[in-house]
Amino acid sequence: MSGARNDKTTHFGFREVPESAKAGMVGQVFSSVASRYDVMNDVMSFGIHRLWKRFTIGQAGVRAGQKVLDLAGGTGDLAAQFVAQVGPTGSVTVADINAAMLDVGRARFADRGLAGNVEFVQANAECLPFPDNHFDCITIAFGLRNVTHIDAALASMFRVLKPGGRLLVLEFSKPVLPGLNAVYDAYSFHLLPKLGMLIANDEDSYRYLVESIRKHPDQETLKGMMEKAGFERAHYFNLTGGIVALHKGYKF
């Protein structure tokens, strides 16, 4: 039969949408919240996201002269720390699919005088525009759950990572402490969208972000997906009772 269509769907929060539409819909979400994104992160997590990111930076083990890719790096929280660690002989690339988030990051780096060895690139994590075996370290913080095909994104990251390099995925995950799920659900579904309206004037985008967390693979599933993509010694750390997990894997 000629003229067959690709009718595959994927999740956008709790909705099913055509796969071809998801990236654009996610883009609209982050374009809407870009200017207030960091403020909302502080409010939503009571500032704890800064501790999660600090732990990630410590686990990354970045050294002078290395090349670092911060995927979904948007406003540059992690990248700002990596710039200081790699020094003038290294480089940091901030890649994000969303132009508005990158604009916020560029302006922030310029204000802080950190623009020397950092590059901002608009790119899709599923088909990264970088050479094979190029980066010593790749990080992606709170971005993997927004990717349409997580397996394709992991494969793309594996390709551009140098042998001996490491990937770190910081993402919301599944709470593991008894009783935490009920409290977390009540907070996420009832309070967070209201905060989104109050602070970012956008309730729908934050409702999507909450729903996208629930659709993201749990800790063991994501570990298995990393292993399938080729990463070795894949393991994870549960943070704040598993509300967030840091996954780490190596390319050998």
Position 3 scores a pLDDT of 44
Position 179 scores a pLDDT of 86
Cα→Cα distances 241→178, 180, 191, 210, Å: 9, 8, 20, 17
Between residues 58 and 98, the one the model is more confident about = 58
pLDDT in tens, 68-78: 999 998 778 89
Between residues 139 and 196, the one the model is more confident about = 139
**What residue spans of 92-202 are helical by DSSP H?**
99-111, 150-160, 180-186, 192-200
What contacts 246, CB < 8 A, 6 or more positions away?
52, 55, 56, 59, 168, 169, 170, 236, 237, 239
What's the first-to-final CA gap in the chain, in angstroms?
45
Position 36 scores a pLDDT of 62
CA-based torsion, 30, 94, 38, 173: positive or negative = positive
Flag whether pLDDT at 1 surpasses 50.
Answer: no
Position 75 scores a pLDDT of 77
pLDDT in tens, 79-99: 999 999 999 999 999 999 988
Model confidence at 55, pLDDT cuts 50, 70, 90, reads very high
Q: How far apart are CA 14 and CA 210, in angstroms?
A: 10
* DSSP, res 212: H
The CATH number of 11-19+36-177+217-250 is: 3.40.50.150
Secondary structure (3-state) at 238: strand
* Of the listed ranges 16-25, 82-91, 113-122, the one predicted with least confidence: 16-25
